[in-house]
A and B are shown apart, each in its own frame.
Chain A
Amino acid sequence: DAGVIQSPRHEVTEMGQEVTLRCKPISGHDYLFWYRQTMMRGLELLIYFNNNVPIDDSGMPEDRFSAKMPNASFSTLKIQPSEPRDSAVYFCASSPSLAGDTGELFFGEGSRLTVL
């Protein structure tokens, strides 16, 4: 398996523009997670899905952020409008379950977003 695939790897945009980040999880994994990593706040869980259904979006910073999972093999994280403080590395991760003995996460390589 190719692992978790994220695109784009790098995105530079101007304040106010819409940003869409994409993720393809590992086939057969029922859980998909979106994380944001910054120097100040570390690794933050934004939202996670189980079988394409959002389970907990309490980590989404504000209404400018939205995430969808239209099918088992694709998810998007959208920021509209983007702001400079959204600059971060956004990671997608997938997992076969949340059970402890099999619940390890598999991370993508991340999407580095810079909002000017």
Chain B
Amino acid sequence: EVQLVESGGGLVQPGGSLRLSCAASGFTFSTYWMTWVRQAPGKGLEWVANIKQDGSEKFYVDSVKGRFTISRDNAKNSLYLQMNSLRAEDTAVYYCARAVSGSTVSPLSYWGQGTLVTVSS
């Protein structure tokens, strides 16, 4: 059974940093693109970033470029999101998600339960 379990969320002050983790199991982690998607309270979904199987390609939404870094450790079956210079508008539930297939272009078929990040003083 595919499982994605996020952790690392919490309350952080504006300008602070946080590192989210996603532990994957039930599939061969190293063969799939992985993605972070967020959802602000009461709002819609926002794609944040994704990373290729070997980490050689990464893409980000403009609003987080230069502040967030997506990474992965295939030996640990884990996905990460390092978030620096956090702003109030980064407050959201952050989901880890897996592509349907190993292809470069693929929708998201498995999602974690999400971890809440709150940026507030």
- Do A and B bind? no
A interface residues (Cβ-Cβ under 8 A, vs B): none
B interface residues (Cβ-Cβ under 8 A, vs A): none
